[in-house]
């Protein structure tokens, strides 16, 4: 009996994680549950089972389910660590930069090897949009914040070069970029194919170029300028961002 108790103590010791690692493991276990069931639909017992810990231990780190949910949302924000930063730093403001960014965003939508946690975070955003929407707004701002300066400067350059209409106010430009940005966000949450049904598997490249063409025309580029930019986009390598 003494030997058995000793083995149990050693087994418990081996399973004991440092506090920081334990917290991350709880957040990772809670993310898919909150993404599928939401805050109200997720039971504490399910959270404990998924994390492989007792109710007492989960309450030790998170006194309430609401606090755990809030920390999961913050964890999701860290998953989206400004993916455009490197690409944006190398861009020269202008029409090429606008086409590049639109193509980069659309290419990311069509990628087949997205991180599973990021996909779960997106599901959580969709649920939040039907609630107070605060987390969704924060997540989207964080992901796209590095783009705003280059987009604004690029529009100014294009207006100066007479590639875009000069009779729009900045309020109008904000409206245009807002519409396109949100359209692309909708694309990213509701892609053209689904796990059990590949709707356009043979036409991904065509859809990508048509999406870029649509957005460039919506911004205000002429059909001729749009075709030139689409041809440049076609020569770009597929980005992993």
Q: Average pLDDT of 119-147?
A: 76
DSSP letters along 42-77, please?
A: --HHHHHHHHT--HHHHHHH-SSHHHHHHHHHHHHH
Give the pLDDT confidence score for residue 26 in this predicted structure. 94
* Residue 27 half-sphere exposure toward CB, CA atoms < 13 A: 20
pLDDT > 70? residue 124: yes
pLDDT > 60? residue 199: no
DSSP at 194: B
* Residue boundaries of the structural domains of the chain: 2-75, 85-234
Which of 44-53, 61-70, 137-146 has the weakest average pLDDT? Answer: 137-146
Give the pLDDT confidence score for residue 213 in this predicted structure. 94
Provide the CATH topology of domain 2-75.
Answer: Arc Repressor Mutant, subunit A (1.10.10)
Residue predicted with more confidence, 224 or 105 = 224
pTM to 2 decimals?
0.67
Percentage of residues in the chain having pLDDT higher than 70: 77
Confidence of residue 4 (pLDDT cuts 50, 70, 90): very low
Confidence of residue 133 (pLDDT cuts 50, 70, 90): confident
Neighbours of 120 (CB within 10 A): 20
């Amino acid at each position: 009996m003494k030997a058995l108790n000793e083995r149990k103590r050693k087994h418990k010791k081996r399973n004991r994680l440092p506090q920081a690692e334990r917290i991350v493991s709880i957040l990772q276990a809670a993310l898919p549950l909150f993404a599928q069931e939401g805050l109200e639909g997720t039971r504490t017992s399910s959270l404990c089972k998924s994390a492989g810990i007792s109710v007492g231990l989960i309450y030790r780190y998170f006194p309430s389910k609401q606090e755990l949910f809030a920390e999961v949302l913050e964890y999701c924000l860290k998953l989206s660590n400004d993916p455009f930063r490197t690409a944006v730093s190398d861009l020269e403001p202008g029409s090429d930069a606008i086409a590049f960014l639109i193509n980069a965003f659309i290419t990311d939508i069509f990628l087949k090897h997205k991180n599973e946690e990021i996909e779960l975070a997106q599901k959580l955003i969709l649920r939040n949009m039907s609630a107070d929407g605060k987390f969704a707004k924060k997540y989207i701002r964080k992901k796209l914040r590095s783009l705003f300066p280059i987009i604004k400067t690029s529009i100014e350059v294009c207006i100066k070069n007479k590639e875009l209409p000069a009779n729009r106010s900045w309020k109008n430009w904000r409206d245009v970029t807002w519409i396109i940005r949100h359209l692309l966000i909708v694309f990213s949450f509701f892609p053209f194919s689904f796990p059990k049904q590949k709707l356009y598997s043979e036409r991904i490249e065509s859809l990508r170029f048509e999406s870029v063409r649509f957005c460039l025309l919506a911004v205000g580029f002429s059909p001729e300028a749009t075709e030139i930019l689409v041809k440049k986009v076609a020569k770009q390598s597929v980005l992993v961002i």
